Amino acid sequence: MTKIGTSEKELKYVLKHSSSGIIDEKDVVNFCHNYTQIPRATIGASLDSILQTIEHYLSLGYSVKLGDIGIFYITADARTVESNTEAGLGQLRDVNIRFRPSKELQEHIRKADKECEGIYRIVAT
């Protein structure tokens, strides 16, 4: 029990996902090379090309679906106005890139997460 002011509050605990860090492009290229033996330069060039392709199509207003990974898409945040004549690009506040993982990816991560106890920590609320 923890005393807060003049009343006592019972602590409760919850399991939280704990990030293991960030994997960068070099790490991805090395992992793919070790897994497939495809030359690192080929993997790196392919990855750069894929990223440029995603950027290109998103900038044209398309959503981009990558197999069983998921879909990248754009959303916009804009002010509302009173009339159609006021409507236009001036309303735009921000453009956001979103990602919706596929069901297959979600299921894979849920299954893997349950097998990896080391990526969780217990915290008091």
Tokens of 96: 């956001």
pLDDT of amino acid 55: 97
Contact present, 61 and 75 (Cβ < 8 Å): no
Average pLDDT, rounded, for the chain:
87
Helices (DSSP H) in the chain: which residue ranges? Answer: 25-36, 40-59, 103-114
Q: What is the pLDDT of residue 16?
A: 81
pLDDT number for residue 38: 97
| Closest by Cα among 50, 42, 43 to 66 | 50
Q: Angle between the 25-36 and 40-59 helix axes, to the nearest 10 degrees?
A: 130
In this model, does residue 1 exceed pLDDT 70?
Answer: no
Q: Measure Cα distances from 61 to 54, 78, 96 in Å.
A: 11, 16, 12
pLDDT tens track for 57-82: 999 999 999 999 999 999 999 888 88
